[in-house]
Amino acid sequence: MSKNYSILYAEDNKDVRENYVLYLENYFDYIYEANDGLEAFDIYRDKKPNVLLLDINMPNMNGLELAKKIRENDSNIPIVILSAHSDKEFLFEAIKLNLVEYLTKPVDRNKFKSVLENSIKKVKENAPNNQFIHFAKTTYWDCSKRLFFHKNKMIDLTRNERILFELLLNNKNEIINPNEISKYVWDNETEINDASIRNLVKRLRKKLPVDIIQSIYGSGYILSH
């Protein structure tokens, strides 16, 4: 199977994680590992993997909580949950999250293989027909490289500027309020005030050669395209 895909695997047990990673290497070129839910969310925002494989029992933020948080702004990314629980309460919560699969440990290898192949199939189905999103004749976003170009020159965005742009792009033509931006970009790391958000939006707008981000008074920001 052609790879060229990435996966984020969150599991706090190092030995278990290493065993799974050996198998995941058959399907993914890039495997990002996380020890807990908060680290996993940070990697998700920074690396934008194609698939998520999340264990439920993790410190700081469990797998279901992480999946819920990601689903707030990303309805398409394939998510697979691993759990030692077959409890109906967990299953009921998982159903709401549009998962590829909820796997109960120990996982049958053939079943796991099928789930990974199905996840990659969903990645292909969700992929845009064109890897480039054009905003003007010579201005475009490269979805694969996660870079903005204007007249064939890359526009240098900071990490937070890129994360904000992707948040707006993934929710284009929808208003994103300051609280959503704060939670997604900074993940409540510090107390973020409205002035900090306005400054971030201002810096991003200044760098973009097209006027595509609008302020909606009293509501938030929207990317119109």
> pLDDT tens digits for 39-90?
999 999 988 899 999 999 999 999 999 999 999 888 889 999 998 876 666 7
How far apart CA 215 and CA 11 sit, in angstroms, is: 40
Count CB-CB contacts under 10 A for residue 69. Answer: 18
Domain assignment of residue 155, yes or no? yes
Tokens found for residue 175: 């208003």
Q: Once rounded to an integer, what is the mean pLDDT over residues 15-34?
A: 94
Radius of gyration of the chain (CA): 19
Confidence at residue 112, expressed as pLDDT on a 0 to 100 scale: 95
Domain assignment of residue 156, yes or no? yes
108 and 91 in a single domain? The answer is yes
Sign of the alpha-carbon dihedral angle for 48, 53, 58, 64: positive
Confidence at residue 188, expressed as pLDDT on a 0 to 100 scale: 61
73 and 94 in a single domain? The answer is yes
Instruction: Indicate the range of 19-23, 124-128, 192-196 predicted with least confidence.
Output: 124-128
> pLDDT tens digits for 177-203?
999 999 889 876 667 888 999 999 999
